[in-house]
Amino acid sequence: MQIRHDWTRDEIRGIYHLPLPELIFRAQVAHREFHRPDEVQLCRLLSIKTGGCPEDCAYCSQSAHYKTGVARQELMNPTEVLDAAKRAKAEGATRFCMGAAWRQVTDGKDFDRVLEMVRGVAALDLEVCCTLGMLTESQAQRLKDAGLSAYNHNLDTSPEFYGEIVSTRVYDDRLQTIAHVRKAGITVCCGGILGMGETDEDRISLLEQLARLTPHPESVPINSLVPNEGTPLGGAEELDPLVMVRTIATARILMPASRVRLAAGRRGLSQEAVTLCFLAGANSIFTGEKLLTTPNPGADADHRLLETLGMRAMQNA
Ligand code: SF4
């Protein structure tokens, strides 16, 4: 199977709207060419600096624009972060992600502490990922030199719908940070969030943006909105789990070599829906009780589910 970056909107629309059994079958064919069908990567995400973010992302409990009850916390100290990374590794995680609620990285004491965390986690032989907001080229290079394997920066939704979700930055800002990350030789983790009131066409447009990135993001997180009280999307309608399945399967077909991550919102899915997401080509999940500030199934529940399905956690980062 050839990896393509020239997918057209019509082709993607045609795939997304296939009858579900056909869509899942094609996703499985793509999946099996590049990945073991019985393996799922376990990742852990830790909020190293919580709340008080100046951005106004309508889904986010950490935005300073909304009253959500998330308490603001300063940057954690590197020793605590390393302890959390060691625990995550002991529970089977091979990737450790650190998230800070910043609009952008600012050079100085806090960034130096993040670099120290990256060096420490990389020394544990874990894939190390950060999500810190916008980055300059030189900051991306310093993260790379510290041992960063991946940088998460989501496109969130389609360019057409983006203005409904965020007003404090534009789509091109996202694309620029992704370009800086690429230039530094760090792998890209980039996906979106479903269930924010977007249409099928928005989801198709987001997938088109992702699938036309050259190279593709090595990791594609597909999140389902977890409505947070106090945010503009706090009362959003529940997403049909089959929309998640369709989006994951389409992502798998368009970006067959990437890891597709079933990310936030997994706790709202039944075991059967999660199983369908695996069949559709998801091969990475976040484990641990919390995803930044939202609840997530615990590591024990995940291990039990994999065992029930006869699947296993990926061993090597
Ligand atoms: S999603 Fe990130 S950038 Fe947006 S408000 Fe939340 S922490 Fe800030």
What is the tens place of the pLDDT at every residue in 221-256? 999 999 999 999 999 999 999 999 999 999 999 999
pLDDT-above-90 percentage for the chain:
81
In the structure, what pLDDT confidence band is assigned to residue 174 with cuts at 50, 70 and 90?
very high
| Number of other CB atoms surrounding residue 257 within 10 Å | 13
Per-residue model confidence as pLDDT tens digits over 73-125: 999 999 999 999 999 899 888 889 999 999 999 999 999 999 999 999 999 99
CA of 184 to the centre of ligand 1 (A): 23
pLDDT recorded at residue 290: 66
Residue nearest to ligand 1 atom 2, measured at CA? 101
Q: What is the DSSP letter of 307?
A: H
pLDDT recorded at residue 291: 60
pLDDT recorded at residue 112: 96
pLDDT over 60 (residue 317) = no
Q: What is the mean pLDDT of the chain?
A: 93
pLDDT-above-70 percentage for the chain:
96
In the structure, what pLDDT confidence band is assigned to residue 265 with cuts at 50, 70 and 90?
confident
pLDDT recorded at residue 303: 83
The CA dihedral of 47, 77, 299, 229, to the nearest 10 degrees, is -30
Q: How many CA atoms lie within 13 A of 138 on its CB side?
A: 3
CA of 250 to the centre of ligand 1 (A): 26
Alpha helices in the chain (DSSP H): 9-16, 20-34, 78-90, 109-123, 137-146, 162-165, 171-183, 200-211, 241-254, 271-279, 299-309
Locus of tokens 């993260």: 143
100 lines ligand 1 (CB under 6 A): no
CA of 230 to the centre of ligand 1 (A): 14
**CA dist., res. 180 & res. 137, Å (int):** 5
Report field, pTM of the whole predicted structure over 0.85: yes
Ligand 1 atom nearest the C-alpha of 64 is: 5
CA of 293 to the centre of ligand 1 (A): 11
pLDDT recorded at residue 263: 87
Residue 76's contacts (CB-CB under 8 Å, 6 or more residues apart) are 46, 48, 49
Tokens of 187: 């792998």
For ligand 1, pick from 50, 53, 98, 155 the residue to mutate: most ligand atoms within 8 Å of CB.
Answer: 53
* Burial (CB count <10 Å: 0-12, 13-18, 19+), residue 2: exposed
Residue nearest to ligand 1 atom 5, measured at CA? 63
**CA dist., res. 18 & res. 39, Å (int):** 26
- For β-strands 219-224 and 39-49, DSSP reports them as unpaired
57 lines ligand 1 (CB under 6 A): yes
Active-site positions read 53, 57, 60, 97, 129, 189, 261
118 lines ligand 1 (CB under 6 A): no
Q: What is the DSSP letter of 214?
A: S
pLDDT over 80 (residue 169) = yes
pLDDT recorded at residue 298: 67
63 lines ligand 1 (CB under 6 A): yes
Residues 114, 98: contact at Cβ < 8 Å? yes
